[in-house]
């Protein structure tokens, strides 16, 4: 897959589904790989979800290291660092009154999609129609209707069902990026308090994560269905 193809698919996806903002390309740079040349490091410390919002609203491309990630929970699930014990065992969300018992908080955290600590050295961000790197995951943040259309396009060729797994926490990092990165399937998330507060995910928007390998067939189907 070439950069020109990636950019063209980004343009087509936005035009075909009449998306409000361009899909966001996310690249996870393994610890054994180099950060692509020509991409600038982000200049300010932000949460991962804020970086996604910056890429989709400002059409800017950049990369972030672990020290640039303000939300250490997001950094941990994406493999940039170890998860703190208080987050891993559920204390953080239990103390925020998200769960009735520490056990319900613990069980939830044990099922959050997570990459091995230290396996990723940097995260790349940019609008899909303009990026200079090959992404691993594409994020679409739009209405449930657009998510429905994406799901229909995904199933157009082989059929089946789209299975969603989310818990209302760590939606933009664990649900949107890590889940499709790990299993190669589309993910759907209703968002979380952090993404809606810090990343301006609106009340009528949800998050779809698409493995880049699924993008071509999805767009080909979208042309047939919605073009």
Q: Please indicate, yes or no, if residue 190 is contained in any of the structural domains.
A: yes
Residues 92-110 have a mean pLDDT of: 95
- Cα Rg for the chain, rounded, in angstroms? 17
Please tell me the least confidently modeled range out of 40-49, 128-137, 159-168: 159-168
> Is residue 27 exposed (0-12), middle (13-18) or buried (19+ Cβ within 10 Å)?
buried
| pLDDT at residue 1 in the model | 84
Q: Please indicate, yes or no, if residue 221 is contained in any of the structural domains.
A: yes
| pLDDT at residue 226 in the model | 87
| pLDDT at residue 44 in the model | 95
Query: What pLDDT digit, counting tens, does each position of 167-217 carry?
Result: 999 999 999 999 999 999 999 999 999 999 999 999 999 999 999 999 999
In whole angstroms, what is the distance from residue 38 CA to residue 22 CA? 21
- Spatial contact of 172 and 179, defined as CB atoms under 8 Å apart: no
In whole angstroms, what is the distance from residue 86 CA to residue 181 CA? 25
- Spatial contact of 176 and 147, defined as CB atoms under 8 Å apart: no
Q: Please indicate, yes or no, if residue 216 is contained in any of the structural domains.
A: yes
- Spatial contact of 48 and 172, defined as CB atoms under 8 Å apart: yes
Q: Please indicate, yes or no, if residue 164 is contained in any of the structural domains.
A: yes
Q: Tokens 């559920």 map to which residue?
A: 90
- Spatial CA neighbour of 226 closest among 4, 7, 218: 218
Q: Please indicate, yes or no, if residue 75 is contained in any of the structural domains.
A: no
| pLDDT at residue 190 in the model | 96
Q: Please indicate, yes or no, if residue 97 is contained in any of the structural domains.
A: no
- Number of domains the chain contains: 1
Q: Please indicate, yes or no, if residue 31 is contained in any of the structural domains.
A: yes
Residues 50-79 have a mean pLDDT of: 97
What is the pTM for the complete model shown? 0.96
* Helical segments of 78-120, H only: 85-88, 91-95, 102-110
Q: Give CA separation, 194 vs 65, 75, 168, 189, in Å.
A: 20, 14, 10, 13
Per the structure, the complete domain to which residue 22 belongs is given by 3-70+120-226
Q: Please indicate, yes or no, if residue 103 is contained in any of the structural domains.
A: no
Does the pLDDT of residue 148 top 90, yes or no?
A: yes
Q: What is the SS3 string spanning 15-84?
A: HHHCCCCCCEEEEEEECCCCCCCCCCECCCCECHHHHHHHHHHHCCCEEECHHHECCHHHHHHCCCCCCC
Mean pLDDT across the chain: 96
Half-sphere exposure of 49 (CA within 13 A, CB side): 28
| pLDDT at residue 94 in the model | 95
| pLDDT at residue 209 in the model | 97
């Amino acid at each position: 897959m070439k950069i020109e193809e990636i950019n063209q698919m980004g343009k087509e996806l936005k035009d075909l589904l009449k998306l409000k903002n361009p899909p966001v390309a996310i690249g996870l740079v393994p610890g054994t790989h180099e950060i692509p040349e020509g991409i600038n490091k982000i200049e300010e410390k932000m949460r991962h979800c804020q970086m996604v919002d910056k890429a989709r609203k400002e059409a800017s491309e950049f990369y972030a290291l672990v020290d640039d990630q303000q939300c250490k929970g997001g950094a941990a699930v994406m493999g940039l660092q170890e998860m703190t014990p208080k987050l891993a065992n559920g204390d953080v969300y239990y103390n925020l009154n998200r769960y009735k018992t520490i056990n319900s908080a613990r069980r939830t955290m044990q099922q959050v999609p997570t990459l091995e600590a230290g396996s990723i050295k940097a995260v790349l961000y940019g609008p899909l129609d303009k990026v200079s790197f090959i992404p691993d995951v594409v994020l679409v943040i739009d209405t449930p209707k657009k998510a429905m259309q994406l799901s229909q396009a995904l199933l157009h060729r082989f059929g089946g069902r789209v299975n969603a797994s989310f818990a209302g926490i760590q939606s933009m990092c664990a649900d949107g990026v890590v889940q499709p990165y790990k299993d190669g399937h589309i993910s759907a998330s209703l968002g979380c308090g952090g993404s809606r507060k810090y990343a301006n995910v609106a009340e009528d928007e949800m998050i779809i994560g698409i493995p880049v390998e699924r993008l071509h067939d999805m767009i080909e189907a979208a042309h047939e269905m919605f073009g």
